[in-house]
Structure 1
Amino acid sequence: MSEPEHNEDFAQLIQRLKDEYDVNESEIARRLGVSPATVNTWTQRQRKAPRAATLEKISEVFPKFTRDEIFAAAARRTPGPLSKDATERLLAYYAQLTEEQQRAKLVEMKALAEDNRL
């Protein structure tokens, strides 16, 4: 699999976000539902980029930044879209599996998701 191309790291993306939206770390934290200290650790490169759910929230709250550029700055692959219909189909298939098969699929999906954390 190819790695995402990115020219900026997550700290640089946060700085660009602050400039583009004219917000400080406290305002970013408030909008994302995290502590200002957490945002500060991102900008100081003291903590790895946040989980995928927080990256998704950044793209929702700050729409001038695409999912692709946010995930790339976090050194992650962008997850594919998952429509309501696709979610329902996946759950229907999953419900038809034996308990052992369900455990195996969970292990497989967890491994794939972790692989996306380059």
Structure 2
Amino acid sequence: MEHEGQPTAGEDLAQLIKRLKDTYKVNESEIARAIGAAPATVNSWVHRTRGGTKGPRTSLLEKLHTAFPKFSREEIFAAASRQTPGNLSSAEEDELRELFAELTAEQQKLTKIQMKAWIASNSQ
């Protein structure tokens, strides 16, 4: 039998939120406040009513890990059916910004389209 607070294989975001609530003794409103989201957003995760195919924003999943660090980025993203994004240092961000600035307007447009497609493919 699984121990309370332990991840289960195939856990979805609703199940992870339940474990998070049990582990940290918080409610959905407190989770929402901690990550800067509307309570309705967290409620939609819990009740699996989030519309669209995108799922939770990456920034909210990152904030969920920051606010509740007993839960790894990997398990949070997996529960949201997303691949965990790579870490990017400030220097790498600067380099990417500089490289992007060297592209023509058309190349920038195409690069953004390609990046959005890659991001969409990160849903498992």
Same fold (TM over 0.5): yes
Which ranges of structure 2 fall in alignment gaps of 5 or more residues?
Answer: 1-8
Aligned to 1:50: 56
Poorly superposed stretches of 4+, deviation over 3 Å: none
Computed over aligned residues only, the root mean square deviation of the Cα atoms, in angstroms, reads 1.2
What code does the residue aligned with 2:82 have? R
What is the rounded CA distance, in whole Å, between the counterparts of 1:84 and 1:77 in structure 2?
22
Quote the offset at 1:57 in angstroms. 0.5
Q: Which has the higher contact order (CA 8 A, sep 6+)?
A: 1
**Identity over the aligned pairs, expressed in percent?**
54
Work out whether 1:108 is the aligned partner of 2:111. no
Distance 2:61 2:45 in 1: 12
Distance 1:28 1:97 in 2: 41
The counterpart of 1:99, out of the listed 93, 105, 109, is 105
Show CA shifts across 1:56-112 (max 9, x none): 000111111110000000000000011001001111111111111111111111110
TM-score by length of 1: 0.90
Task: Deviation per CA, 1:28-81: give whole Å up to 9, x if none.
Answer: 111112222221221111116411110000011111111000000000000001
Partner of 1:77: 83
The TM-score, its normalising length taken from structure 2, stands at 0.86
Question: Which residue of 2 is the match for residue 9 of structure 1?
Answer: 12
How many residue pairs get aligned? The number is 113
Q: In the alignment, what sits opposite 2:34?
A: 31
